[in-house]
Structure 1
Amino acid sequence: MARYIFPRWSNRVLPMVVGLVLLPLGTAAAGGLWYYGTNKHVEVGYTPTQPVDYSHKLHAGDLGIDCRYCHTAVDKSANATVPPTETCMNCHSKVKTDSPKLLPVRESYASGNPIPWVRVHNLPDYAYFNHQVHVTAAVGCQSCHGRVDQMIKVSQVEPLSMGWCLDCHRNPEPSLRAPSDVTKMVDDTASLAKAAGAGGARKVSPPVNCSGCHR
């Protein structure tokens, strides 16, 4: 009679381990990697479709509307904030009042319900970021958001990764502007940075330690 090192029931242990332990763990790991590792909502090129076909190229570019007209809290609070419908209606109560593209805006204004804009730039909850600090330090909007004045649909142009942020914190000068040029968008950003430096722009020392962004 043959002798076995392991009892017969042990043949079922490996499939059970695979089916009940390794497979669920592998699925969870793959799901986590897909959600967090592929940066679905924070990757370069992310361009969500908005509930209103709003063109930054038209408003910020062709018409030259300053970023702060709509994003009023960008230099006053931690969040840039999206404009309320009332801001849109400041103009559109008189301009293109019958445009079908602006129907959601008019309905929002009449009902008081906000337009469900889709956020483009997202940072993880564990990363602390303050818009006011950056804007008042004269970091140009273009440094993080790119040439928004040329975007019919806003898309993300920078990775917003920890390494990318640290590169700027270690060498912020190329991103700094004169306070009057913070919202200015041009192809030659080096000239703006040089002019800011020549104009005696205040020196900044962004934190590069962990607690600076992880609080």
Structure 2
Amino acid sequence: MSQIFSPSFGLYAKLAVFGVLLVAVSACLAWRSVTTDPHRLDEPVNQPVPFSHKHHVEDDGLDCRFCHASVENSAFAGMPPMSTCMTCHSQLFTDAAMLKPVRDSWKSGVPLHWNRVYQLPDFVYFNHSIHIAKGVGCVSCHGRVDEMPLTQRVVSLSMQWCLDCHRNPQKFLRPREKVFDLAWQPKDQQRLGAELVRAYRIDTGRMTDCSLCHR
């Protein structure tokens, strides 16, 4: 009987299987590198200007919306234009070396490139405005930024982390007028949260539907 496969066929077959496995592993590693946030928890993120939320919010009393003007009506919170910064810094600390990038940006019209503190993968849809409208406070995701000299991540924003909130929204909801009050604490979160779930007409049966975040 003649031999159907050559003696070297087994070697080629093994190399082909190894190649497929190598491609699969490489694809998984590449996917992880794209979807994983590069910054560690509780690690300040370097910025072109060492902006201090603690100084601007706690010391000067600025509201979140002064800089993040679109947070209530847009998917994105928004970043302040240099005209917002220069509202104060055309009069204060006008010669400070650390603010030179701000002054240069103002003069040239070229926006500063701020480094993202949180980065969601492209296949995740997130809308700031709906969370604000439903009483989710800034502090739930961003932590006490009013106490941060330099901004850092405090939560992972992993799928499991998001699902923990979507499955039990009553644990996190607050009155809308307290959404931007980072220091506010409820007396009875469970009771208040249950009332707000009804008041905000949150359909808890759909909160874990895939289509909410993956569109």
TM-score, structure 2 normalization: 0.83
Identical pairs, percent: 42
Amino acid at match of 2:158: S
Q: 1:120-139, aligned counterparts within 5 Å?
A: 120-139=117-136
1:32-70: per-residue Cα shift (whole Å, max 9, x none)?
Answer: 34443xx23376345421111101111112222110111
Amino acid at match of 1:17: A
TM-score, structure 1 normalization: 0.83
Q: RMSD between aligned alpha carbons?
A: 3.0
Deviation of residue 194 (structure 1)? 7.0
Question: Measured at CA, do residues 178 and 33 of structure 1 come closer, stay the same or move farther in structure 2, by a change above 3 Å?
Answer: closer
Aligned partner of 1:179 in structure 2 is 176
Question: Measured at CA, do residues 22 and 92 of structure 1 come closer, stay the same or move farther in structure 2, by a change above 3 Å?
Answer: same
Q: In the aligned structure 2, how far is the partner of 1:12 from the partner of 1:19?
A: 11
Q: In the aligned structure 2, how far is the partner of 1:211 from the partner of 1:23?
A: 32
Preserved contact between residue 39 and residue 45 of structure 2 (Cα < 8 Å): no
Deviation of residue 116 (structure 1)? 0.3
Deviation of residue 148 (structure 1)? 0.6
Aligned partner of 1:57 in structure 2 is 54
Whether 1:86 aligns to 2:83 is yes
Q: In the aligned structure 2, how far is the partner of 1:204 from the partner of 1:42?
A: 36
Aligned partner of 1:23 in structure 2 is 22
Question: Measured at CA, do residues 213 and 29 of structure 1 come closer, stay the same or move farther in structure 2, by a change above 3 Å?
Answer: closer
Stretches of structure 2 lacking an aligned partner (at least 5 in a row): none
Question: Measured at CA, do residues 115 and 172 of structure 1 come closer, stay the same or move farther in structure 2, by a change above 3 Å?
Answer: same
Aligned partner of 1:67 in structure 2 is 64
Q: In the aligned structure 2, how far is the partner of 1:72 from the partner of 1:102?
A: 22
Preserved contact between residue 140 and residue 177 of structure 1 (Cα < 8 Å): yes
Deviation of residue 104 (structure 1)? 0.2
Alignment size in residue pairs: 210
Q: In the aligned structure 2, how far is the partner of 1:204 from the partner of 1:22?
A: 48
Which of residues 160, 177, 191 in structure 1 aligns to 2:187?
Answer: 191
Q: In the aligned structure 1, how far is the partner of 2:188 from the partner of 2:139?
A: 11
Aligned partner of 1:147 in structure 2 is 144
Stretches of structure 1 lacking an aligned partner (at least 5 in a row): none
